Amino acid sequence: MREVAAGFQKPVMLYSVGKDSAVMLHLALKAFAPGKPPFPLLHIDTTWKFREMIRFRDEIAERKGFQLIVHVNRDGLERGINPFSHDSVAYTKVMKTEALKQALSNHGFDAALGGARRDEEKSRAKERVFSFRSSEQRWDPRNQRPELWNIYNTQIAPGENVRVFPLSNWTELDVWNYIDREGIPLASLYFAAMRPVVKRAGLHVVVDDDRFPLEPGETPKEMMVRFRTLGCYPLTGAIVSDAATVPEIIMELQRSRISERQGRAIDKDQAGSMEKKKQEGYF
Amino acid sequence: MPAADHVSVKSNGTKELSSPQTKKELLRFIICGSVDDGKSTLLGRLLCDSGTVPEDQFEEAGTASRVHGTQGDDVDLALLVDGLQAEREQGITIDVAWRHFETNRRRFIAIDTPGHEQYTRNMVVGATAADLALILVDVRKGILTQTRRHSHIASLMGIRHVILAVNKMDLVGHNAAMFQTISDDYKSFASELKFQDVAAVPISALTGENVCSVCGGIPWYDGPTVLELLETTESHRDNAACGFRLPVQWINRPNPDFRGFSGTVASGSIKRGMPVVVCPSGHTSCVRRIVGPSSDLENAVAGQSVTLVLGDEIDVSRGDMIAAAGSPPNTTDHFAAHLIWLDTQPMLPERQYLARFASACAIARISDLTHRIDVNSLNQLAAKTLEMNEIGYCKISLDRRVPFDPYIENRQTGSFVLIDRFTNATVGAGLIGFALRRGGNVIWQEMKVDKSLRAAAIGQKPCVIWLTGLSGAGKSTIADLLEQKLHALGMHTYLLDGDNLRHGLNRDLGFTDPDRVENIRRVAEVAKLMIDAGLIVIVSFISPFRSERQFARSLLEDGEFLEIFIDAPLSVCEERDPKGLYAKARSGKLLNFTGIDSSYERPECPELHIDTTKLPADEAADAIVRTLKTLR
């Protein structure tokens, strides 16, 4: 993170409100202590995030003294793009990928810090820590810069930028152990509670507000569930769980045989799904 | 990185919870071999048999197996790890993949690197992070060129432990003699390398034999399995020998009362009160405070991220190194190093590259390529350039002094990368050997009469007018007219012409890319001497490469270098062909001719751009005189 702050003109930290973002925020505060991190936070809001995520986001940013930039793809919103009437491929492209590109170029950020990890998904396993993007924000997996030792190449031409992933070599369990050790606050959605759930395409979807179009005869059922990852509520499946504290979650993870992003619909909507999204500029 | 120390997986796939108190060691190893040796399958086997593969990913690989797989209805284990689609389609591993797994005893990061020759640079990347190399050989093929190359890179990159996995034993009826021959061949080859230990294991990645467990197919082998070796090989790297090193990454100055120097301890340890030296300045002080992420610390060790506050107000900036006063690093601007070339554009001696060290940055020039190393025989070969994937030994000059340790003593402070100044690509990886003393022996002699006094005596402001363009574009004609006009104005001039200099000063140079670079370096230095003498110098050279024109500009002060692009399309130049050279080049009688079989990089923002298809030579020369007047 210090390398990013020292090597670039205008860095930013992507903040998704999730647990990885929480760890990133914590690390940023530590990396620059007793000073303050010299970059703002950027949240790409699709307007379909859980209401609690938004409350939590604003509270944390204020409490930790970060400048928070929230970007919504207004154009996508005006076109009425939403996760119900559009398939998840089109929705993600417009409301997340396009929105992120807009935000980065509008503000002229030349480096964006993100919390992605190599253990999450196969194409992410090959991502660089400092991942170069062309001026069109594209990722070319065949033309990545070699990374040797801990020496990072921070040279870019005007208009180009890099995505930086300091947590590349962490695992999901590392993240939870770290949250436990450091007592990092998280959104309560990570912890089991009774929530209204409907089943859609094999996912347990929590009905977060009245925009959720119920099928005829469908009624949300109260179930004890929690989330392993947080995204847009209609596209993020909960898991049935009674783990209500960090140590209970760690215990549960150790017994689990299902990968973390399994509840994320957007990873599976096309073959080589994440790799394609990444080439287009998704985080 | 925090230790995930609560879970453990038995090698037979059953899970048990270990006590949260036990902290497990991490071993990073690189897994390498040739195409089709079964690398991804072996890794898939390690992940699968250690119980690390989540069920949903296993099912997905099962689905993909039926499309791309080679194992009929069985799950093709390689598909668990070959992440990118292009790999699935071509059946080879392209990039570097980082895989985590763990057992009761240890946590592992398996670095899966490409076997295919055109991706050897990715193996170099993987090797920089690894403590052990797991080298795979197909028992039917034996030791290949690529096996030797990978072994040499592993040795050079400082890996000291090797496991030689002889794979596909099931396909040769578990033949003991074949295994023994390969094992002996490899050990005799490796005896010339710097490995501490080499262990050979006969395996079958497909059936799992001797990978995580013994299946009984190879009764004549009673040694450890691959996993047992991975669990027991000594994992720590000893960097501590050369003492405390902290490359300064960030100056922490939240308020006027606090000034700290942040970075990650690269080696050794530090205590509060310890005397330190700041390199390259050589200022000494002591550590007043060690500021940790949340509170002050008494001491810090390698790998920890800290902010140091020193006892004295001394100047420290990013790129400096804070070191133990008793054992400081070397400081030099000229050193010998091994260089591994990573880029498709070959390395050119004398070209300027950007060099990045642990935190320092400098402009570097390869002043001498001593030899290239043949990775099959380890013989030293004469060479003028390094192509991609080649390893050479060179002398490198920097524009400033940087602190370093020899790579063999400290991987972190003894390494550097070279970056192309135009494409910004990472083009070379370097391992520092030792400092060369030249820098110490040649001392700059200060003279009393300097450039400004000489220029004042002849009443003009010296500059270089650098004409670049294709052969036949009109450079020589315009240069000649320009000098006449300037002379008529009473200026003191000199014209350096490419062809003319090749009769004398540059007689020993040909037209290959490295020779062209040296050609321009000499002309630029001569032009600089003439500027120092107060002259207006006209340089008329094809000078095809941006880097070298930029180099010439960088030798001079602002406003002293005017780049004039004499532009005419290749077809026009070829039609003019005043010296008959294009005809010769087209008929194959002349090699490396710019525009035909050697490239010309057009200037991006010259001080003046002249299109000689539109502007006659005399008017072009007038335009240059006007530019000269307006710029001063």
Domain boundaries, chain B: 6-232, 240-324, 330-436, 451-631
Distance CA(B349)–CA(B352), nearest Å, equals 8
C-alpha dihedral over B33, B37, B38, B43, to 10 degrees?
-20
Confidence of residue B17 (pLDDT cuts 50, 70, 90): very low
Position B236 scores a pLDDT of: 62
Closest C-alpha to B231, from B279, B151, B163, B289: B163
Domains B330-436 and B451-631 alike in fold? no
Separation of first and last alpha carbons in chain A? 17
Token output for B588: 């194959």
- Nearest residue to B419 (alpha-carbon basis) of B609, B547, B247: B547
pLDDT at residue B165 tops 90: yes
Q: B300 - beta bridge partners?
A: B270
B575 against B59, higher pLDDT: B575
* pLDDT for residue B57: 58
d(CA A102, CA A46) in angstroms, rounded, equals 13
Residue of higher predicted confidence among B22 and B489: B489
Q: Which residue has the tokens 């074949």?
A: B178
Lowest mean pLDDT across A56-70, A214-228, A252-266: A252-266
CB contact under 8 A, B293 and A33: yes
Tokens standing for residue B461: 């402001």
- A63 in contact with B, Cβ within 8 Å: no
Residue A110 confidence (pLDDT) above 80: yes
The pLDDT of residue B157:
85
Burial B247-271 (b: 16+ CB within 10 A, else e): bbbbbbeeeeeeebbbbbbbbbebe
Residue-level pLDDT at A260: 58
Sheet containing A111-113: which strands, arranged edge to edge?
A68-71, A41-44, A11-14, A111-113, A161-164, A130-133
Block residue for tokens 């998280």: A186
Q: Higher model confidence: residue B585 or residue B70?
A: B585
Residues sharing a CB contact under 8 Å with residue A232, sequence separation 6 or more, in sequence order: A46, A48, A49, A83, A95
Closest CA relative to residue A171, chosen from A116, A245, A238, A112: A116
Residue B87's pLDDT is 45
pLDDT score for B59:
60
In terms of pTM, does the model score above 0.80? Answer: no
- What is the per-residue pLDDT for B177? 92
Mean pLDDT over residues B365-394, rounded?
84
In the set B281, B415, B543, B599, the catalytic residue is B543
Asked if residue A126 has pLDDT above 60, the reply is yes
Of A217-226, B462-471, B508-517, B525-534, the one with minimum mean pLDDT is A217-226
Mean pLDDT, residues A111-132? 75
Contact, A13 vs A41, CB < 8 A?
Answer: yes
- In this prediction, residue B10 carries a pLDDT of 32
Nearest chain A alpha carbon to B421:
A155
CATH architecture of B330-436: Beta Barrel (2.40)
ipTM for the predicted complex comes to: 0.74
Among residues A179, A176, A187, A191, the alpha carbon closest in space to that of A238 is found at A191
What is the sign, positive or negative, of the torsion defined by CA atoms of A23, A28, A33, A39?
A: negative
Average pLDDT of the residues in B437-459: 68
Give mean pLDDT, residues B294-306.
85
Q: Is B285 a catalytic residue?
A: no
Return the pLDDT at A255: 72
CATH number of B240-324: 2.40.30.10
Domain B6-232 in CATH 1.10.10.10: no
User: Which pLDDT score is estimated for B566?
Assistant: 93
pLDDT tens for each residue of B493-512: 999 988 888 888 888 888 88
123-182 in chain A: CB under 8 A from chain B: 123, 125-126, 141-142, 144-153, 155-157, 168-171, 173-174, 177-178, 181
User: Does the structure show a pLDDT above 70 at A263?
Assistant: no
CATH superfamily of B451-631: P-loop containing nucleotide triphosphate hydrolases (3.40.50.300)
Average pLDDT, chain A: 77
For position B314, what pLDDT does the model report? 85
Q: Tell me the pLDDT of chain B averaged across its residues.
A: 82
Report pLDDT digits (tens) over A64-106. Answer: 888 888 887 777 777 766 666 666 677 677 777 778 888 888 8
In this model, does residue B407 exceed pLDDT 80?
yes
What residues in A contact B425, CB-CB < 8 Å?
A: 145
- Asked if residue B609 lies in contact with residue B567, where contact means CB atoms within 8 angstroms, the answer is yes
Nearest CA to CA, how far is A161 from chain B (Å)?
A: 12
Q: Do B424 and A35 touch (CB under 8 A)?
A: no
User: Would you say residue A190 has pLDDT above 80?
Assistant: yes
| A233 burial level (CB within 10 Å; 0-12, 13-18, 19+) | buried
Q: Is the pLDDT of residue B184 over 90?
A: yes
Q: Do B54 and A258 touch (CB under 8 A)?
A: yes
Question: Quick check: B317 pLDDT over 50?
Answer: yes
Instruction: Please check the confidence at residue B424 and state whether its pLDDT lies above 50.
Output: yes
pLDDT at position A259:
58
Q: Which residue has better confidence, B145 or B30?
A: B30
Closest to B98 (Cβ–Cβ): which among A30, A125, A142?
Answer: A125
Positive or negative: CA dihedral B300, B303, B306, B312? positive
Higher pLDDT: A76 or B343? It is B343
**Alpha carbons B323 and B310: distance in angstroms, whole number:** 12
Residue whose pair of structure tokens reads 């970059």 in the numeric block: A39
pLDDT of residue A274: 56
Greater confidence (A2 vs B495) lies with B495
**Statement: residue B349 has pLDDT above 70:** yes
Question: Binning pLDDT at 50, 70 and 90, where does residue A121 land?
Answer: low
CA atoms within 13 A on the CB side of B418: 29
Minimal C-alpha gap between A100 and chain B (Å): 23
Is the Cβ–Cβ distance between B467 and B539 less than 8 Å?
Answer: yes
Q: SS3 string of chain A?
A: CHHHHHHCCCEEEECCCCHHHHHHHHHHHHHHCCCCCCCCEEEECCCCECHHHHHHHHHHHHHHCCCEEEECCHHHHHCCCCCCCCCHHHHHHHHHHHHHHHHHHHHCCCEEECCCCCCCCHHHHHCCCEEEECCCCCCCHHHCCCCECCECCCCCCCCCEEEECCCCCCCHHHHHHHHHHHCCCCCHHHCCEEEEEEEECCEEEECCCCCCCCCCCCCCEEEEEECCCCCEHHHEEEEECCCCCHHHHHHHHHHCCCCHHHHEHHHCCCCCHHHHHHHHCCC
